[in-house]
Amino acid sequence: MPVNTTTPPWTISAEALNLPEDAAFPRSNYINGRKRTDGNGRFNTVTDKYHGTALAHVPLATAAQMDEAIAAAVAARSALRRMSAGERSRNLAHLAHAIEENADVFARTIMQEAGKPIGYAEAEVARALVTVRTAAAEALRLTGEQVAMDFGKGIGRTAITKRIPIGVVAAITPFNFPLNLVLHKVAPALASGCPVVLKPAPLTPLTSLLLAELIDGVGWPAGAFNVLVATNEVAEVLVRDERVAMLSFTGSDAVGWRLKEMCGKKKVALELGGNAAVVIDEGTDLAAAARNVAMGANLYAGQTCISTQRIFVVKSVFDPFRDLLVREFHALRAGDPADRDVAVGPLIDRKHFRRIADWLDEAIKGGARLLAGGKPVDTEHNVFAATLLTGTKPDMKVFSEEMFGPITLVEPVRDFSEAIAQVNNSRYGLQAAVYTNNLAHMKQAHAELEVGTVVINDIPGFRIDSMPYGGVKDSGLGREGLRYAMEEMTEPRLMVY
């Protein structure tokens, strides 16, 4: 399928990319390869999360438009299935090049609509390039297998499988990684031959709308990627529709499990967050660990699924580690995400800003002690200080729930085994980290920690985009990471002869 050359394929149109000093952000949904400025008569206002100014008013899609997008995706399915792996890989490589050519536009958009510090926004764009390029490579490696048959009644027969794209994928994404988490669903789907209907987070839809124009510009068939900003009621049309083969959702556990109940016979992949923990063992480099953990707890105001929230320190090294950690927390700068020295930017909205303050107040009233922070830095701009607590209890929200904010707890434990037990004392199980040089403790952590990933000598926020990513318990089901997501989005079809 040829690349669209009617317009320069590597540049987002002036209408789409104009930034505040020029004009405006995208103001349309994207259905069947066309921008749609009509909707239900109401608009979703997207704001600059630090300044509070309006960036764009995007029309809210109707249920009929959602139906139209699903129909377009169904129609695109046959065209995608006819594309060779080489064609899909080539188009993804073109998409990566297009994103790279517009990297500054994406980074600035992410910074403004998500309130993400500019350096972290640029890092997200860089990761997105890895995501798409890895998908391009994996498109060429998506194969079946020969099944062992040469025994019993299978003697003399041969059996092989091939991977078949599952069909239309419904993708629902959160606000915190508006480019890379979208691409963790879209890139493996397109690599596998599956069309996508995306409902992005209403707080951060502009990045997805910019992405849609690039995808359309590099040769994918109309309907292969559709983006609709919609109410929850209209999103339920997407979730319930029997023409949709799979739901891939990233967000809160409460919403994720409720959507799973609506899905009927669909395949479901859920990434539902957690309250990530770190274990600090004896014999590790405490200063390096404190530096990494402080950043891992507070970068982007702790608004990632694998931000460090709970730290358990073996008692013999608790005091020196706590003191080092307090120093690192005090050194973190909070404020305007456009400032390259800022690590702790604004909370995504006023509701979450108030929730952070409420949970902190509850913990302190219950006996927790402040070691650092504990107050707003800038109430007008929803910036809260990097906050460190000790003396917390498992029934406190700061311990048991997903904080999604710059509040962290550090507690002493008797020994490594007690640390493992404390990490597991959670309804979540996404990623955990262990700082240790003890091989036996590494093996114990791998065997006993109830999480999807155990990271050794780094923070739980460590993620390479090709690795299998997902959790257990209330952290979800299924795995992302390009090859693993492609396995979720395809089914093996067996032929015996």
Q: What ranges do the domains of the chain cover?
A: 14-272+476-496, 277-464
Whether 198 and 225 have beta carbons less than 8 Å apart is answered as yes
- Rounded to an integer, the average pLDDT of 129-155 is 97
Class in CATH terms, 14-272+476-496: alpha beta
Any catalytic annotation for residue 113? Answer: no
CA–CA gap between residue 181 and residue 1 (Å, rounded): 27
In which band, very low, low, confident or very high, does the pLDDT at 14 lie, cut at 50, 70 and 90?
very low
Task: Compute the chain's Rg from CA coordinates.
Answer: 23
Q: Which pLDDT tens digit goes with each residue over 267-289?
A: 999 999 999 999 999 999 999 99
Q: Which pLDDT tens digit goes with each residue over 191-219?
A: 999 999 999 999 999 999 999 999 999 99
CA–CA gap between residue 182 and residue 172 (Å, rounded): 8
- Of 68, 213, 271, 402, the catalytic one is 271
Q: What CATH architecture applies to the domain 277-464?
A: 3-Layer(aba) Sandwich (3.40)
> What's the confidence (pLDDT) of residue 26?
84
Any catalytic annotation for residue 194? Answer: no
- Of 305, 402, 480, 487, the catalytic one is 305
Question: Alpha-carbon dihedral of residues 90, 96, 101, 106, nearest 10 degrees?
Answer: 150
The pair phi, psi for residue 195, each rounded to 5°, is -75, 160
> What's the confidence (pLDDT) of residue 2?
39
CA–CA gap between residue 130 and residue 124 (Å, rounded): 10
Threshold 0.85, pTM exceeds: yes
Q: Which pLDDT tens digit goes with each residue over 53-77?
A: 999 999 999 999 999 999 999 999 9
Averaged confidence pLDDT in the chain: 95
Instruction: Tell me the CA end-to-end span of the chain in Å, nearest whole number.
Output: 34
Q: Where are the beta strands (DSSP E) in 326-403?
A: 369-372, 376-378, 383-384, 387-390
